[in-house]
Amino acid sequence: MSGEPILSVQGLCAWYGAAQILYDLDLEVRRGEVVALMGRNGAGKSTTLKSIMGLVGRRRGTVRFDGRDISTLEPYRIARLGLGFTPEDRRIFSDLTVMENLDVGRQPPRASARAAAWTPERLFALFPNLAERRDRLGSQMSGGEQQMLTVARTLMGNPLMVLLDEPSEGVAPLIVEQMATTILELKQQGLSILLSEQNIHFAALVSDRVYVLEKGHICWHGAMAALLDDADLQRAFLTV
């Protein structure tokens, strides 16, 4: 893992209408690193990912990705630079098959990529459940399968980094285990990941470092091991 950040966020603020949601967030993700963004419901985790991706209309601050300032770019331009996003609500095309959903996300390989380009065959090896359902409509799949398809479709864009919004939410424990294994495999292949997550057990399986959000502020950051060792910190900011 390189010490060079692939994503650097400084002074990020965001609003929904007149309501300010994020307050001067500073965070970074290094190449090949998995970083968790944790906090209770409403802490601002999803808004942080959407703001980085350019999906929040009113925001302020600097976001640099792969050495480039993307603060004012449209979301589709950010995606084409190699920053993938898997939203919490999945957004698969329910009237398209698995293969058709993957084709929607297809982008050519990147010259700067450190791993082989993603193909349906590689993704089916990563997600065997999808291989068995390649001709099934999105509407006919379980929530866990839809979650896998969302990640797979994002990978078809051959990203350098992925923003994962609540990957363990609302899916069966077996799928959660499979998702953790998948994230670790992606990390081994050099993909950088920033994930928002409430499940500390899931986050602990995959994350190197963690930022804890409380009411739109980063109230703590450090190694995941340090968070696991601090029961008082967990009670203060992560328990309901």
Helices 143-155 and 173-188, interaxial angle, to 10°? 10
- Residue 1 pLDDT > 70: no
pLDDT of 114 reads 65
% of the chain at pLDDT higher than 90: 73
The answer to whether residue 208 sits within a structural domain is yes
From residue 129, give the alpha-carbon distance in Å to each of 52, 65, 206, 211, 230. 31, 32, 21, 32, 37
Instruction: Look up the domain containing 48 and give its range.
Output: 5-92+159-237
The answer to whether residue 147 sits within a structural domain is no
The answer to whether residue 140 sits within a structural domain is no
The widest CA-to-CA distance across the chain, in whole angstroms, is: 49
The one-letter code for the residue type at 15 is W
The answer to whether residue 149 sits within a structural domain is no
The answer to whether residue 23 sits within a structural domain is yes
How does pLDDT run across 168-190, given as a tens digit for each residue?
Answer: 887 778 888 888 999 999 999 88
- Residue 2 pLDDT > 60: no
% of the chain at pLDDT higher than 70: 96
Handedness of CA 86, 87, 88, 89 (dihedral sign): negative
The answer to whether residue 135 sits within a structural domain is no
Task: Report DSSP letters for 47-105, one per residue.
Answer: HHHHHHTT-SSEEEEEEEETTEE-TT--HHHHHHTTEEEE-TT----TTSBHHHHHHHT
Residue 97 binned pLDDT confidence (cut-offs 50, 70, 90) = very high
Rg from Cα positions in the chain: 17
The answer to whether residue 202 sits within a structural domain is yes
pLDDT of 102 reads 94
From residue 216, give the alpha-carbon distance in Å to each of 46, 48, 140, 186. 11, 9, 37, 29
How does pLDDT run across 185-223, given as a tens digit for each residue?
Answer: 999 988 999 999 988 999 999 999 999 999 999 999 999
Q: Which of 77-91, 105-119, 125-139, 148-162 has the lowest mean pLDDT?
A: 105-119
Other C-beta atoms closer than 10 Å to the C-beta of 189 total: 14
| 202 within 8 A of 168, measured Cβ to Cβ | yes
Residue 109 binned pLDDT confidence (cut-offs 50, 70, 90) = confident
The answer to whether residue 119 sits within a structural domain is no
Q: What are phi and psi of 213, to 5 degrees?
A: -105, 140
Burial of residue 151, with CB atoms counted within 10 A of its CB: 0-12 exposed, 13-18 middle, 19 or more buried:
buried
Strands (E), the chain: 5-16, 19-30, 34-38, 58-65, 68-69, 83-86, 161-165, 192-197, 209-214, 217-223
Can you give the CATH number for the domain in which 15 is found? 3.40.50.300
Name the domain count of the chain: 1
